[in-house]
Structure 1
Amino acid sequence: MIVHTGVRADHLSTARRLAADPGAWPVAPRFDPERRWYHRLLGEPGVEAWLLTWLPGQQTDLHDHGGSAGAFVVVSGTLTERTVTGPDGATRLTGRVLPAGAARQFGEHHLHQIVNEGGEPAVSVHVYGPELTTMTRYRLQGGRLRVAAVDRAGAQW
């Protein structure tokens, strides 16, 4: 249940709650060798949650969440989150390894890339609020961020 009080929802608590109860998921995680697999776990006014799977080597592009805040929990396996650091003239990616049980919360302007650099499949739960409507994908070119594409809900995912 979402209570609209003017205070930002606790996406991390929601992600942890969903990750802790795989028996309540409407589907079992699946692994697709061609692309990352995902399934929407929760969709309520102001918040949504997704179950994602990652085979070794699978990753996202560097992206934002279109103004949505969020959180994610690594349910199994290990993921690496790469974030943008440095001033505009020397932008680079730095990584943080997140083993099973690790969680991250982020604000509306967070830019990151997630990759399974390990040798085992991984599963994660991601929560966003408000619901995702767009995601901008970026590339680093000459030390600067460049927009590669803007994906829209219902069209690209």
Structure 2
Amino acid sequence: MVPDLTMRGQDDPHGRATIARQPTVGQLAARLGELAARPAGWWRLVGFDAVPVKILLDELDGVRVWLTTWPPGHRTRVHDHTGTAVSTLIAGELAEVVIASDGVTERPLRANRVRVHGSRTHAFSNPGPAFAVSLHADLAS
């Protein structure tokens, strides 16, 4: 009798799977961590303009990564995300206002921590006196 060597519920260890899986939240966060650890590759792209500067850094393996520079006092419009996205604050200050059925909350974002953005309504602002710089990753559409 031949033993059953299949591993149900796990990736095919022999690379025979033909269906590509979407990147996980952890993979998105790891991508941002790698970029944040190597600012020499993108820091020169930071723009200090009166309006936010959003620059696509790359789109690889179904993941889109971009850099955003936020001028002091800037606020985004209230918006929501249809898919999963992650971000990390590199420098400066940002605050997030989340609007939910149970109320409105505002909290500061901490530098070098990954923030997961699911399906929720929110807005960002730069309450600080200096520019803020953040990195973002989401699934390319």
TM-score normalized by structure 1? 0.68
Structure 2 runs not aligned, ≥5 long: 1-18
Residue deviations 1:13-58 (CA, integer Å, cap 9, x gap) = 212221221111284200111x211100111242101100011111
Q: Deviations over 1:69-106 (max 9, x none)?
A: 1100000011001111234xxxx431110132232012
Count how many residue pairs are aligned between Structure 1 and Structure 2. Answer: 122
2:36 pairs with 1:19? yes
Distance 1:100 1:7, change over 3 A: closer
RMSD: 2.2
In 2, the alpha carbon distance for the partners of 1:24 and 1:46 equals: 21
Structure 1 CA distance for aligned equivalents of residues 121 and 48 of structure 2: 25
Specify which structure has the higher proportion of strand: 1
Query: Which of 53, 57, 66 does residue 73 from structure 2 map onto?
Result: 57
CA contact (8 A) 1:81 1:113 kept: yes
Larger radius of gyration: 2
The 1:46/1:111 distance shift into structure 2, 3 A limit, reads farther
Identity of aligned residues (%): 30
Aligned partner of 2:14 in structure 1 is none
1:95 aligns with 2:110: no
Match of 2:98 in 1: 83
